Amino acid sequence: MTTIYNMQYHNTLEFAKQQDANDPLRKYREQFYFPQINGRDVIYFTGNSLGLQPKSTQDYILRELEDWASFGVEGHFHSRNPWMPYHEQFAEPVAKIVGAKPNEVVVMNQLTVNLHLLMVSFYRPTKKRYKIICEGKAFPSDQYALESQVKFHGLDPDKAIVEVHAREGEHNMRTEDILFTIEQHADELALVIFGGVNYYTGQLLEMDTITKVAHGVGAIAGFDLAHAAGNVKLNLHDWNVDFACWCSYKYLNSGPGSVAGAFVHERHLNDKNISRFAGWWGHDKSTRFKMEKGFAPMPTAEAWQLSNAPVLSMAAHKASVDIFNEVGMDALVAKSEKLTGYFEFIVNDINSNLKSQISNLEIITPKDKNHRGCQLSIVAHGLGKSLHDKLTEAGVIADWREPNVIRCAPVPLYNSFEDVYRFGEILKNSL
């Protein structure tokens, strides 16, 4: 027995089933499809890579296909969810997910496309201020985006990009080191941009503090929320974040490669002189179809849109967003803390009973619930990928990252305490 977050955990099936019986979100598990291995639902802990499909998704997409067949081009105005303003219905519910005002968010494109579009506006290097601070070993797409943006401005990435790493012998960055680095480069700093939740370790950064210090030295603060949106409680508006972007296929369960999102703080929205790459769907909708020269941006984050809505992928997104709007982030985070705490307890309990002197399991995600979401990253010392393969064969879908990390995300929307207990039993047998 172990007490975590004022909960007494037990490594028993009876305990897990009792927690599930008391779970106010238990009914939502039935609203998702689970893949099967050997005729049985898998234990799915890979919502941090691709969320499960809501059972309603097919109906949402089919509705648009039916309206396309029935109305043709007139579906832009006469379909059940008219396509021309289709993206507008996301503003309010998505704003709740990321802690923003409805006018500050827009659903469009994919994550890295949005990152590039936002950096056009918010990375404006000068001879004096040109540096970018980010995390070391950022997700590759972010690395490539930052590198190419710097080169686009004729700068050397080795000089312009400053990386913050975990200290020797540690796995997670220290907030004090991030803040020190910002202060160290204060006079030359243009942009501070980090992954809100680190994809590899699962560390949740103190975005509010980082933003405040970045602004204090005159820099812009932005975040990639690919592993944060739908996972942790965000307050982008109150934190005064300048911009952010995220995908929808991980915790937001909207399908592979589905439409992404972007946030721009309202203080930037009325700046018509801000640099941006423009498209007609970002133009003032009251005059958009006059087809005239001269870009007049929308007074919302929609100004960063280029093209009209990809309705079919947005329909899949809507199926999931409707569920989030019903559940709410407060309820999801409350369950997530308990469920992730139980997962941590199970892994540590198994690890404490390992008899091998050459192998052990080390959770490298922060123990503090305020510094993580639902992902736990486990270093399988001395075990290699064979352990991950055994878990997969036994019906556990988790994520493997070289050289020896298994990333598991017990997602509160559809994972159960029994999933965690069963995972523990399979893990013991695999070891």
Q: Do 317 and 333 have their domain in common?
A: no
Backbone phi, psi, residue 359, to 5°: -135, 145
pLDDT for residue 7: 73
- Which stretch of DSSP H or E encloses residue 20? helix 13-21
Write the CB contacts of 158 (distance below 8 Å, at least 6 apart in sequence).
none
Q: Do 259 and 407 have their domain in common?
A: no
Q: Do 185 and 313 have their domain in common?
A: yes
326, 359, 379 — which closes off a domain?
326
Q: What are the residues facing 193 on neighbouring strands?
A: 222
- Tell me the per-residue pLDDT of 14-24, one tens digit each, with 9 for 90 and over: 999 999 999 99
Contact 44, 415 (CB under 8 A): yes
Q: Do 246 and 267 have their domain in common?
A: yes
pLDDT for residue 2: 61
Domain count, the chain: 2
326, 341, 375 — which closes off a domain?
326
- Tell me the per-residue pLDDT of 338-392, one tens digit each, with 9 for 90 and over: 999 999 999 999 988 876 655 689 999 999 999 999 999 999 888 878 889 999 9
Q: Do 303 and 218 have their domain in common?
A: yes
Question: Domain holding 353: CATH number?
Answer: 3.90.1150.10
- Tell me the per-residue pLDDT of 258-284, one tens digit each, with 9 for 90 and over: 999 999 999 999 998 899 999 999 999
- Tell me the per-residue pLDDT of 103-160, one tens digit each, with 9 for 90 and over: 999 999 999 999 999 999 999 999 999 999 999 999 999 999 999 999 999 999 999 9
- Tell me the per-residue pLDDT of 184-203, one tens digit each, with 9 for 90 and over: 999 999 999 999 999 999 99
274, 306, 326 — which closes off a domain?
326
Closest CA to 281 of 92, 426, 85: 85
Range of the domain at 375: 2-31+329-430
Q: Do 187 and 74 have their domain in common?
A: yes
Q: Do 368 and 312 have their domain in common?
A: no
pTM here is 0.96
Q: Do 334 and 317 have their domain in common?
A: no
Q: Do 408 and 302 have their domain in common?
A: no
Mean pLDDT within 211-218: 98
